[in-house]
Amino acid sequence: MSTIKTFADTAYGLAIATGIIARGLFRSPHPMTTEQRLATLPRIGLPVAAPVTIHWDDHQIPFIEADSDDDLAVALGVVHAHLRLGQIEVMRRLAFGRVAEMIGPLGIEIDRSLRLMDFGRAVPEIIAGLPETTRRWADGFVRGLNHHLAHAPALPHEFSLLGLKPEPWTLTDLFTLTRLSSADISWLVWVRLLRTRARMAPREWRQLWPRLLTGGSPCTFAATTGDIAEQALAASTRSGSNSSAVAANRSITGAPMIASDPHLPLGLPNPWLIAAVKSPSIHAAGLMMPGLPFIALGRNRTIAWGGTSLHAQGSDLFDISRLPPDDFAERTEIIRVRGAGRRALKLRESPLGPVVSDGALLKNPYPTALRWIGHRPSDEIGAMLAVAKAENWEMFRSALGGFAVSGLNMVFAGSEGRIAHCMAAHLPRRPAEYPTDLVLSPEAVKNWDDIVAGRDLPTRIDPPDGFVASANERPPRSDFPLGFFFAPNDRAQRLAVLLGGAGKLATDDLKRLQQDVLAPGVLPLRDLLLHRLPHRKRSAGQHRLIETLRQWDGSYDHRQSGSLAFEILLAETVAALGGSSRIKPYQTVWMAQSLLTEDLLETNPEILAHAIEQALAPASRRLSRLGSWGGVHRIRLQHFLGRLPLLGRRYRLADFPADGGNNTVHKTGHSVSSGRHTVSFGSCARHISDLADLDANQFVLLGGQDGWLGSANFADQVELWRRGGYITVPLRPETARTRFRHKTVLQPASAPITQTPEPPA
């Protein structure tokens, strides 16, 4: 593209963005009560065979009762569209690389990157091979989405602001969106590391790469670069999380318990919604990702399940610079550009996969191809549908056999007393040795000749200590590497301490566990800083910082000053040593703490002492001014439109001090920084179930259930989440009928229309 054309696109793109801002200034969303929101849900003429009853609580959490599985699928589609249509429609366009339709010419190169990832590559083959049960379920969900889209009295605010037009959904749309949600966590690591490698001298990169492999693991992070494609991957990837199951003999009630808290980028609408359902073969409650027709974590009458990212590497990048030109194919795709007509994008394909280096997301100086398990057919929707129907461990394990992307640790608890941990993934059988670089030679594609399924990966069943816990840590040894980047062991070790011992546990213990902010693993690094600090007379402020550090127990409670003293002294010391450039790659693999410790231990003691001395004065001033960890560590909750200049402030709902840190069980991710920052990533939802009682299911979202801007339920769970509260979601229909005071009846198209939709009960 010529420089003149690029300049013109940028200028016109800024004009379109200005227009979006102006439109938003005059089209503010109107406040709506829960009753008003429920009254907007289309209730008549639905594509169901019999009436479907939905009971709603005051947070708009539904309990859906349907006479058939087909009707339940339709009702779920209606509910997802009612609660999250704006969010789902934006994600649909991201999955297909249609960002330019929403934001104009500034989205053209974003669309190129997303289309090169080719999320829908396997979808035609997936649909052609669907089992009848999965096809009927998916088709019903799509019909529910389409009914709401066609008959809702109003469309979400995002439609008018981003110029979205209603479009009927298809199975292709649904399965392509599912593939976007299955994006490989490795991509987020590669995005950052490719940029790092491009800035480094070759020798420096060769020294850094082995350290990243052996000392680090990836964290999914919200992008700070403003790259929408990267943000889409971060928001969609099932990336972090804690999940634990407690055996019956360790539970006060005599039945197993489960506790899960998924970690994703923090924002509004929340990346999860809560639902309970009942039909002839599905009776469950749990967390669902908007637009995906399955319960990702939750429980049914006899089992409960949770999951965390396996941090498996289901992809590889290949250097294809030596392939002959005839090996490449090229296709042209036409995209619509808001305010600028149409544009042709040329996309290249190689025998090893799409040439992703042609896009800005995985930019590389030489041609690079992507091979991904997600480009092969598999049925994740069917697998999770079977999980929701499973009655025991054997059925649960069998259900996950077809689950390929993205790789998950799955935690199980059964009412008969069994607990277990297994892996759900399909992965290439790679050699045991570490790769020599980020991008592999074409010869390494032979590893993809043998794909290993989850049933052949290590499993833990009924361990003697009475619990299983998963926190993205390095998995047990297998005969081939599942990946190369795994989370630090800190969270897993802390979970083991909290769940271990001979005493019996209650759900209140699991609640405390989910809010635990102690990080004992940081104390050796604290001790190193104090040990190297020269002994001399200090100012009152410096003395206070030193004593605060000495007395600190590793707590990241937002009211604590010890965590603030540690973080700012560490950041200032690294800056004094000139090591700030290393922090980004260390954080990319989420091992900043261990790799910085290694760096400091290898630093000449006198040089390190001088750096700490230099850091002490500014650190003590910051400590005096800021006071506590919450003074710098903040959660800012905002709609994704909150990133817009000028207009963004009206989409920002909360800014408050945050508990936790990078390596605490209650995770709130942050950079190594001595200044005020916002949490990029962390715990955004919580679930606890006690299998002794069908109604003992508790959930909470950081945000709210409703994605409609202006709704009373858009962010009504924030304070509940902050104080460690939960919402009880029963499985017994009679309990839901009593406690969920709002009622909606979805009437089939054949039913006579006798009155307007009934008001809330």
Contact 150, 167 (CB under 8 A): no
Better-predicted residue by pLDDT, 5 or 595: 595
SS3 state at 649: helix
Predicted model pTM: 0.93
As a whole-number percent, the residues of the chain with pLDDT over 90 amount to 83
Residue 233 pLDDT class (50, 70, 90 cuts): low
Handedness of CA 151, 153, 155, 156 (dihedral sign): negative
Q: What average pLDDT does the chain have?
A: 92
The token pair at 273 is 């919604």
Judged against a pLDDT cut of 50, whether residue 753 lies above it is answered with no
Strands (DSSP E) along 598-737, which ranges? 633-638, 652-657, 677-678, 681-683, 685-690, 697-701, 727-728
Contact 258, 689 (CB under 8 A): yes
pLDDT at residue 685 in the model = 98
pLDDT tens figures, 170-206: 999 999 999 999 999 999 999 999 999 999 999 999 9
The token pair at 59 is 């947070």
Judged against a pLDDT cut of 50, whether residue 754 lies above it is answered with no
Judged against a pLDDT cut of 90, whether residue 366 lies above it is answered with yes
Q: Rounded to whole angstroms, how far apart are CA atoms 651 and 26? A: 14
pLDDT tens figures, 109-119: 999 999 999 99
Residue 226 pLDDT class (50, 70, 90 cuts): very low
Judged against a pLDDT cut of 90, whether residue 11 lies above it is answered with no
SS3 state at 316: strand
Judged against a pLDDT cut of 80, whether residue 688 lies above it is answered with yes
Contact 677, 704 (CB under 8 A): no
Judged against a pLDDT cut of 80, whether residue 219 lies above it is answered with no
pLDDT tens figures, 476-521: 878 899 999 999 999 999 999 999 988 999 999 999 999 999 999 9
Residue 19 pLDDT class (50, 70, 90 cuts): low
Residue 30 pLDDT class (50, 70, 90 cuts): confident
The token pair at 347 is 């996309």
Half-sphere exposure of 170 (CA within 13 A, CB side): 9
Average pLDDT over residues 599-625: 95
pLDDT at residue 10 in the model = 57
